[in-house]
Amino acid sequence: MESSPLISYGLPIALFIIMIGIGMTLTARDFHQVTVRPGGLVLGTIAQILLMPAAAFALAWALSLPPAMAVGLVIIAACPGGTTSNLFTLLARGNVALSIVLTISASMITIMTLPVFANYALELYYGAQQPITLPFLKTVLMLSFIVLLPVTIGMLIKTLRPSLAARAESGVSIFGGLVLALLVIGIVYGIRDRFLDLMVQAGPATLALNILGIGLGLLSAKLVGLGKREGLAIATELGIKNGTLGLMVTLTLLHSNDMSVPSAIYGVIMFPIGFLLVSFGRHIVKKDAAAEPLADNEKPAAELS
């Protein structure tokens, strides 16, 4: 599927709208609650920005991926959590405020780190064989326009018109999911003659990256003493990636069908795995809640009399 006006213009516009939706979920209070205890924010940000790309490089080496698949895997790994990660965190009963702040913090940092990792991957896997580079300045400017500006607009809407923001949040999330679904369908249709072969090449790597990210989030949170709700938020941010951003980079900046395949396949795989995480999260949080004694203000009136 070659880069078309729909991809070149429609995709950034759709992503702009989705990022406004993220902004409409943010308030100053969200930042305050997370920064008071910044352990989850620090751990989640480091894991998203550094550990996930490192895992992608390791998987590309271990699975001997072709250059295009390897670059595409690194790009999706270097992308921040997706707009639907907040919804999955809510469904899993994780720390939604932490999920929201991790999404936006990683999105902001990604403006600088994504082109760095992408260019390093291009040099590593292609070398002098194919002079493909991700233009750093153009990428930074594009990501700034579709991340920082819309998030700021969303936060202003949340502040000035909270009722409007509340009504729009779910609609924007649905819109984001539809955009990704349509793009995935378009990518798969465009490579339908080679889909099974590419799935064989990229499917195991993307599935491994997804499961590895979720496991890394849960395990690292436990090791540093964070609660289960914080661990669920971090795991969801690492597992539910911004596949739309990965597709935009590979299709509109690198103009590569093959490099876009990992983002497309990841966008398919992450949803069923995400729902399994939701089921797991609801189980462990419910189990913990049942084990904890009720506070006085939560006890039935009969027990307080």
Compare 21 and 210 and report the one with higher pLDDT: 210
| b/e per residue 108-133 (b: at least 16 CB within 10 A) | bebbebbbebbbbbbeebbeeeeebe
| Per-residue confidence (pLDDT) for residue 133, from 0 to 100 | 54
Question: pLDDT digits over 268-287, tens only?
Answer: 788 888 889 988 988 887 77
- Residue 31 to residue 296: CA distance in whole angstroms: 29
- Residue 122 to residue 131: CA distance in whole angstroms: 9
| Per-residue confidence (pLDDT) for residue 108, from 0 to 100 | 76
Q: Is the residue at 293 inside a domain?
A: no
- Residue 85 to residue 146: CA distance in whole angstroms: 18
For the ranges 19-28, 72-81, 125-134, the maximum mean pLDDT occurs at 72-81
Question: pLDDT digits over 125-138, tens only?
Answer: 887 444 445 556 66
Name, in order, each residue with C-beta under 8 angstroms of 242's C-beta and a sequence gap of 6 or more: 79, 80, 81, 82, 83, 107
Across 1-29, average pLDDT: 67
Instruction: Give me the CATH number covering residue 159.
Output: 1.20.1530.20
Q: Is the pLDDT of residue 253 over 90?
A: no
Q: Residue 58 has which token pair? A: 């390791």
| Least trusted range by pLDDT, from 17-26, 110-119, 183-192 | 183-192
Torsion of CA 150, 77, 50, 28, to 10 degrees: 30
Q: Is the residue at 286 inside a domain?
A: no
Residue 152 CA to its chain's centroid (Å): 19
Question: pLDDT digits over 33-59, tens only?
Answer: 667 777 888 898 899 999 999 999 999
Q: Is the residue at 290 inside a domain?
A: no
Q: Is the residue at 179 inside a domain?
A: yes
Q: Is the pLDDT of residue 186 over 50?
A: yes
Range of the domain at 274: 5-281
Across 211-233, average pLDDT: 91
- Residue 141 to residue 147: CA distance in whole angstroms: 10
Q: Is the residue at 298 inside a domain?
A: no
- Residue 145 to residue 274: CA distance in whole angstroms: 29
| Mean pLDDT score of the chain | 78
Q: Is the residue at 287 inside a domain?
A: no
pLDDT band at residue 100, thresholds of 50, 70 and 90? confident
Q: Is the residue at 126 inside a domain?
A: yes
| Least trusted range by pLDDT, from 140-144, 153-157, 226-230 | 140-144
Across 147-154, average pLDDT: 78
Q: Is the residue at 299 inside a domain?
A: no
Q: Is 64 left (phi over 0), alpha (psi -120 to 50) or beta?
A: left
Q: Residue 235 has which token pair? A: 């795991």
pLDDT band at residue 260, thresholds of 50, 70 and 90? confident
| Least trusted range by pLDDT, from 26-30, 72-76, 265-269, 293-297 | 293-297
What total of structural domains would you count in the chain? 1
Whether residue 246 contacts residue 79, with contact meaning beta carbons closer than 8 Å, is answered with yes
